[in-house]
Structure 1
Amino acid sequence: MDVVKKKHRWQSPWLTGAVTGLLGLLVGYLVVLMYVQGEYLFAITTLILSSAGLYIFTNRKTYAWRYVYPGLAGMGLFVLFPLVCTIAIAFTNYSSTNQLTFERARQVLMDRSYQAGQSYGFSLYPAGDAWRLALSDGETGKYYLSDTFTFGGEQTLPLREAAALPAGERAGLRVITQNRQALSQLTAVLPDKSNLVMSSLRQFSATRPLYRLTDDGTLINGQSGVRYRANNDIGYFQSVTADGGWGDEKLSPGYTVTIGWDNFTRVFADRGIQKPFFAIFIWTVVFSVLTVLLTVAVGMVLACLVQWEALKGKAVYRVLLILPYAVPSFISILIFKGLFNQSFGEINMMLSGLFGIKPAWFSDPNTARAMVIIVNTWLGYPYMMILCMGLLKAIPDDLYEASAMDGAGPWQNFFKITLPLLIKPLTPLMIASFAFNFNNFVLIQLLTNGGPDRLGTTTPAGYTDLLVSYTWRIAFEGGGGQNFGLAAAIATLIFLLVGALAVVNLKATRMKFD
């Protein structure tokens, strides 16, 4: 009876309401915090998922949904949310030069200054645990001295004219260098109200803002007088000509704007991108298909061999053949990279000794692609072999006994019984393997880094690049700046292509979704 009472006490409505209220307040605080930081999409996603979770776990009518909600929430947070973000970025000019918001980019430009007056030599003099700043005018011979201060944060130091510099030894260059960041946050104010900031390790100079903001949002360069207006089509403050048109000069950094379908049309319209994109797409499909076929073929044949009753030491062979699957793939890839080394690799040494040839595995496009397929087959066949070994156990021995009575041999048994019975259950796994190899980034990145490189392209591209590695190189290795918007557009196309190819494969094998 006490246990029952205790259980009901813990399940009382007021306790449930209190916990729900605390969770609601916490979620509300996090959502507001993310919204203030500018993470609008993540804030909305968190609000939707949290609200749904609180409703499901506090409503008796939705009791059954409590078991599926964690999975649905995880899919929404880790699958759908990144997908939506990627698609959203694909419609913007987001890049290494256009990362900031409009307000932040304008503020960065407004914070820039230029030296607009006389320079003064400065010295630091210790005053116990504090310091005193002294400026000297080399032209008039006047000295200016501040009160004591300590380093830390932005400070304004009023200076008064002094007859001479303070007594004692001034701080050396080492001390100034160590406190350079703190010194750069000081603003020295002369008696005539002139503001000075540190311009070098031994000078303070009068500075002025480089740009002045007008009421209509125009930036005016204080030195040259050039006017700049925000061009929301390209995401830059761009110079304005006398007749009101756009000039050639753009101020960096730019800001992120929506550019519609420009990134997608660029993939198909820009010859420097179009040519490598379609070539890489064809190679990606060929690579994925060949990898699936070879891994299935090798895995199936080896599974049949290690299941052969007449074979002795089958357990040892199984362990040896599964070892490539047990070793982390990145280690195997790096080992193969050394084995295929054109000058010192063991593979070329062996081929040179036997046949007198030394293939250029990393510089010739065809041999590089052959090497990639060989290595990937080695990495993938153990998985298929394990699957086939399990499926072979499910084939009734009666079929082989009946086949033997009809006089069939091993090859006939394989192609008439084993292969048809294995292919059907393997088909969904082959489709999954195709999708995985379509985006096999680790293999390409560690083995060839996409090389050898293609010539005449406006984006970095190589002959062994898959679409996913090509996208990565656009995003992080672009010579003209990292173009995340274009990379997101290609990633979106990859998602659509992989989905379409998976549907085609399912239709071709006459499989239907439940």
Structure 2
Amino acid sequence: MPTHKKNSPRWFGPLLLIAALLAALYIVVVVHAAGQTLLAATLLFITALAAWLYTSPRFYAWRYLFPGIAAAMVFVVFPMLYTIGIGFTNYSSANLLSFQRATQYHLDETAPAEGDPLAFTLHADGPEFRVRLSDPDEESKAWVSGPLALKNTAPLKLAVEPAPQVKLPLGEPLPLRDVIQRQAALKALTFELPGGRQVVMTGLRQFSGLEKVYEQREPGVLVHKRTGELLKANHQTGFYEKANGERVTPGFQVGVGFDNYRRIFTEPAFREPFLRIFVWTVAFAALTVLFAASLGMLLAVLLNWDALRFKGVYRVLLFLPYAVPGFISILVFRGLFNNNFGEINLILDALFGIRPTWFSDPTLAKAMLLIVNVWLGYPYMMLVCMGLIRAIPADLYEASAVAGAGPLTNFFRITAPLVIKPLTPLLIAAFAFNFNNFVLISLLTGGRPDFLDTTVPAGTTDLLVSYTYRIAFEDSGQQFGLAAAVSTVIFLMVAAISMVQIKFTRISRDPAR
């Protein structure tokens, strides 16, 4: 008994690890069966890595880091790889399905079968209902269903009996409004006539037979059952096509290589707005950082002035824009800049007799974005600069005062040089953040006013990230593959900025370099 107590903790860990690995493998199989091959491969790699780390004594310390590494792989690495992978496909609203599912979709298409439709009427049978089918040309041919609740919309196949064999008398046909109320349940019914013919609801007053439109002759080739017309799968375009080249939707996903990237930089429809939007994105991020940092530093210097009274009150008031949630401030500014009723235009009209069209003029819209973004960003810069200024030795300013230097000399010779160097990595990080500032664009201007010479949705105030969103979700084709390619380009740009930031951070920490 004592031996059992001593050995039980030794086996508990391995058994728990084995159970966790088996559960993870089961999840991998389920995910792969659902068609998510890349996600299944990622989970399988994480499972194998877990088994290696938790069974090898050489990597004991890594066991505590593994949960964080696994989370980063699932929530950061996998979405990144998935997005990059989509950029090499024709994935769009017209090419959502795999080739197998698109083929099955066409094979499942139905059309009214040859033959006259049957008229139908709906009759009450106590709390339930009966359906009466009849041939419009020969009223003696009629059939009646059994009692139906008509509360379920799940598909259901039922047989009907000839009307003379139904002994119960049918009441008056229910009005059309009752048929419409139960239309969903009626459409789920398939009635089989005595001769084997099957009919479904095809109108508010008729049932008719359905038949398959296509049948598969060979893999990738479908034939129309009535006309004999062939549909052939084109794995270059991702569509089944007729002999004349007409595409039949829905299409299917195929790999297109670097075609999406080629379109970004070579097709005029995408190249021209992309280059203009790229230039504006860089200018927007750079000007925001410049103005916010300058304003923040100026306010920090003023708030560190010893002779200034009520400094605590000023700090609280100047910090408020940062304390209020950003999206609330943006929506408030959207109302303030309203062309007709905004307070800003009302004041300008009263003082100067002008009403700027902030949202329809491209230059004014860009200026408005910079004003709002600087308002949101300067408090953080001010706080950082205040801390950096307080870290400057006071004897430097005392020596400067003895030399007869003024405030401007102190700022440009002492304060600015000693603040800029440690502030540089933060400025680079702020540039990278504003490079992808989707929330501001989406809530304030939506990227508008739009360019008038482009066929894709693109606006004069769009950043690359909002331009990508509009391609993916607002374009008529919803070109997800192209949007993923643009996202990959943005990712590479931001990664380059991050590398520069890391380099500057290293330099600022190592004075010898």
TMscore range, shorter length: over 0.9
The residue type equivalent to 2:132 in the other structure is A
* Structure 2 counterparts to residues 419-434 of structure 1, below 5 A: 419-434=416-431
TM-superposed deviation, 1:436: 0.3
Match of 2:398 in 1: 401
Verify the 8 A CA contact 1:298 1:385 in the aligned structure 2: yes
TM-superposed deviation, 1:125: 4.1
Verify the 8 A CA contact 1:146 1:159 in the aligned structure 2: yes
Match of 1:159 in 2: 160
Range moving further from structure 2, 55-64 or 44-53 = 55-64
Listed one character per residue, the Cα deviations across residues 322-370 of structure 1 (whole Å, up to 9, x for unaligned) are: 0000001011011111111111111112222222222221111111111
Match of 2:492 in 1: 496
Verify the 8 A CA contact 1:91 1:485 in the aligned structure 2: yes
Verify the 8 A CA contact 1:184 1:198 in the aligned structure 2: yes
Count residues with an aligned counterpart.
502
TM-superposed deviation, 1:28: 1.6
Q: Does 1:57 align with 2:59?
A: no
Range moving further from structure 2, 114-123 or 159-168 = 159-168
TM-score in terms of structure 2 length = 0.92
Match of 2:234 in 1: 231
Alignment equivalent of 1:78, drawn from 75, 78, 89: 75
Supply the distance in 1 between the matched residues of 2:175 and 2:20 (Cα, whole angstroms): 56
Verify the 8 A CA contact 2:216 2:223 in the aligned structure 1: yes
Supply the distance in 1 between the matched residues of 2:446 and 2:191 (Cα, whole angstroms): 53
* Structure 2 counterparts to residues 349-498 of structure 1, below 5 A: 349-479=346-476, 481-498=477-494
Verify the 8 A CA contact 2:296 2:381 in the aligned structure 1: yes
Structure 2 residues not aligned, in runs of 5+ = none
Supply the distance in 1 between the matched residues of 2:34 and 2:182 (Cα, whole angstroms): 31
The residue type equivalent to 1:184 in the other structure is K
* Cα 1:284–1:143 shift into 2, 3 Å: same
Supply the distance in 1 between the matched residues of 2:498 and 2:51 (Cα, whole angstroms): 36
Listed one character per residue, the Cα deviations across residues 414-434 of structure 1 (whole Å, up to 9, x for unaligned) are: 111111111111111111100
* Structure 2 counterparts to residues 4-403 of structure 1, below 5 A: 12-116=9-113, 117-127=115-125, 131-141=129-139, 142-148=141-147, 152=152, 153-163=154-164, 166-169=168-171, 170-240=173-243, 247-403=244-400
Listed one character per residue, the Cα deviations across residues 265-287 of structure 1 (whole Å, up to 9, x for unaligned) are: 01112101111100100010011
Supply the distance in 2 between the matched residues of 1:471 and 1:85 (Cα, whole angstroms): 16
TM-superposed deviation, 1:443: 0.4
Q: What is the DSSP-based 3-state SS (H/G/I as helix, E as strand, rest coil) of the residue aligned with 1:196?
A: strand
Q: What is the DSSP-based 3-state SS (H/G/I as helix, E as strand, rest coil) of the residue aligned with 2:137?
A: coil
Verify the 8 A CA contact 1:143 1:164 in the aligned structure 2: no
* Cα 1:56–1:259 shift into 2, 3 Å: same
Listed one character per residue, the Cα deviations across residues 291-313 of structure 1 (whole Å, up to 9, x for unaligned) are: 11111111111111112111111
TM-superposed deviation, 1:167: 1.5
Supply the distance in 2 between the matched residues of 1:363 and 1:329 (Cα, whole angstroms): 23
Q: What is the DSSP-based 3-state SS (H/G/I as helix, E as strand, rest coil) of the residue aligned with 1:219?
A: strand
Range moving further from structure 2, 202-211 or 70-79 = 70-79
Verify the 8 A CA contact 2:422 2:508 in the aligned structure 1: no
* Cα 1:15–1:454 shift into 2, 3 Å: same
Supply the distance in 2 between the matched residues of 1:501 and 1:193 (Cα, whole angstroms): 71
Verify the 8 A CA contact 1:440 1:468 in the aligned structure 2: yes
Range moving further from structure 2, 45-54 or 84-93 = 45-54
Supply the distance in 1 between the matched residues of 2:127 and 2:221 (Cα, whole angstroms): 47
Verify the 8 A CA contact 1:400 1:413 in the aligned structure 2: yes
Aligned-residue sequence identity (percent) comes to 49
Verify the 8 A CA contact 1:506 1:512 in the aligned structure 2: no
Supply the distance in 1 between the matched residues of 2:297 and 2:465 (Cα, whole angstroms): 29
Structure 1 residues not aligned, in runs of 5+ = 241-246
The residue type equivalent to 1:167 in the other structure is P
Q: What is the DSSP-based 3-state SS (H/G/I as helix, E as strand, rest coil) of the residue aligned with 1:198?
A: strand
Supply the distance in 2 between the matched residues of 1:416 and 1:77 (Cα, whole angstroms): 49
Listed one character per residue, the Cα deviations across residues 19-69 of structure 1 (whole Å, up to 9, x for unaligned) are: 122212221221111111111111111121233234323443322102322
TM-superposed deviation, 1:382: 0.5
Q: What is the DSSP-based 3-state SS (H/G/I as helix, E as strand, rest coil) of the residue aligned with 2:242?
A: strand
Range moving further from structure 2, 162-171 or 247-256 = 162-171
Range moving further from structure 2, 337-346 or 434-443 = 337-346
